[in-house]
Amino acid sequence: MEYSQAEILQTVRMTEIEHLDVRTVTLGLSLRDCVRSSVEETAGAVREKIERVAARLVPTVNEIGEEYGLRIANKRISITPASLIAGQARSAREYLPLARAIDEAARAVGVDFVGGYSALVHKGATDAEIHFLDSIPEALATTERLCSSVNAATSRAGINMDAVRRVGVLIKEMAERTSERGGLACAKFVCFANAVEDNPFMAGAFHGVGEPEAVINVGVSGPGVVNHAVRHMPPDAPLHEMAELIKKLSFKLARAGELIGREAARRMGLRFGIIDLSLAPTPVPGDSVAEIIEALGFERAGTHGTTAALALLTDAVKKGGAMASSNVGGMSGAFIPVSEDAAMIEAAQLGALSLDKLEAWTSVCSVGIDMVAVPGSTSAETIAAIIADEMAIGVMNHKTTAVRIIPVPGKVVGDIVEFGGLLGSAPIMAVNAFSSDVFIRRGGHIPAPIHSLRN
């Protein structure tokens, strides 16, 4: 489909006035051919391959952004889950050379983040994977660009509650190891149900085993564009007209993102993968998912009815993107990271937005409890219970859900923690005061739901 002059001019206007950007161009890279007889040898092969294949990623994407006049906020890499390529390790400490080699390679090629220090343990974990999980806190605390994830549940396998319980402990350890930075390591970690293999967004990106050797994936973000358009609609416009407006905007956002992705892939001699349409907010005023919700007719994001509004928004984004491209993938909907959305922060501070409401939102949006800061005194069992609820929503609804939560050492409800940059700042939100400890300590496995039996 050719790009018309009017479409190009409208894209330029969205870029200049309405905060449109290509949030990330992510190189997905298989490292399965890097396995060697020792972790140290594997780490060396991994670093060499990342530096060789990704050498031109940042300059190429920067050139394209300048030529097309589009902001491209981040250049990133996703890799094969690291637990799959370093099975030779026999202790958590033995994995650390691999973590540092990945981080050093990311620094050498100039990318913002590299995702894929990950494990897929939704049905169980091998001895090596248990050691790998135990390596995550130190790996994230001692690196800058490395991101990590664990897939603890799927709709076909159910929920690995032993993994969920362990992740609760690991998150507490991550927070303590980076206490002087507000528990920052936790912001680089996600626990998933139904993780997707082609996600270009951090911290949960990894390059799945079903993916090709190397591929360019794009995440385009336009909450500011949608917010601007919704606020200029008549206050009595019916909701089906609002949905149609958002769908048309999503179509245009997808076209702009695919243009950048295909051109980057062509110049690098790689395959173009997918475009992820997820509306991802930033701390910039107006570039907010919560403001879109409020513009649909609410005093504050988080009040009654906002789950329905978010469902409308997510569905319209998916429909518009599917009309524009046959390469829509990732999660493609709406992200709700509290610390990265100015209106969400304000709603949480005013008491309009609670952890329970965020959980309800996750049943209809792209991911889940995201960039939520809670008191440093929150127990590992409570964190695991919050994760378990999110895993259940994903498993029962055949969708991706996730948790990125930060128990900030020394902070209490009402305090603010500053992360800076795109991670923004987060108000410390209250958790339920009643215990879930006995349930979490049972461990074991929650079986897959009956509707998983589809064959």
Query: Model confidence over 20-33: pLDDT tens digits?
Result: 678 889 999 999 99
Q: How far apart are alpha carbons 44 and 394 in whole angstroms?
A: 37
* pLDDT-wise least confident of 40-54, 140-154, 208-222, 403-417: 208-222
Beta-carbon contacts of 185 under 8 Å, excluding residues fewer than 6 positions away, are 137, 140, 141, 174, 175, 177, 178
The confidence score (pLDDT) of residue 174 equals 96
Mean pLDDT computed over 128-138: 95
Confidence of residue 186 (pLDDT cuts 50, 70, 90): very high
The confidence score (pLDDT) of residue 361 equals 93
* pLDDT-wise least confident of 124-133, 134-143, 314-323, 339-348: 314-323
Q: What is the number of H-type helices and E-type strands within the chain? A: 14, 13
Q: How far apart are alpha carbons 368 and 358 in whole angstroms?
A: 8
Per DSSP, helices labelled H in 200-238 are 223-231
Confidence of residue 329 (pLDDT cuts 50, 70, 90): confident
4 vs 285, more confident:
285
Average pLDDT, the chain: 90
Mean pLDDT computed over 175-184: 94
Mean pLDDT computed over 162-190: 96
The confidence score (pLDDT) of residue 4 equals 52
The confidence score (pLDDT) of residue 407 equals 97
Q: pLDDT, tens digit, for every residue of 293-306?
A: 999 999 999 999 99
Confidence of residue 373 (pLDDT cuts 50, 70, 90): very high
The confidence score (pLDDT) of residue 258 equals 86
Confidence of residue 17 (pLDDT cuts 50, 70, 90): very low
Q: pLDDT, tens digit, for every residue of 411-425?
A: 999 999 988 877 888
The confidence score (pLDDT) of residue 19 equals 57
Question: What is the percent of the chain with per-residue pLDDT over 70, rounded to a whole number?
Answer: 96
The confidence score (pLDDT) of residue 251 equals 86
Beta-carbon contacts of 373 under 8 Å, excluding residues fewer than 6 positions away, are 182, 183, 338, 339, 405, 406, 407, 408, 411, 417, 426, 427, 428, 429
Q: pLDDT, tens digit, for every residue of 54-103?
A: 999 999 999 998 888 878 888 999 999 999 998 778 899 999 999 999 99
Question: What is the percent of the chain with per-residue pLDDT over 90, rounded to a whole number?
Answer: 66
In this structure, which amino acid lies at residue 227?
Answer: N
Using alpha carbons only, how large is the chain's radius of gyration in Å? 21
Mean pLDDT computed over 204-208: 92
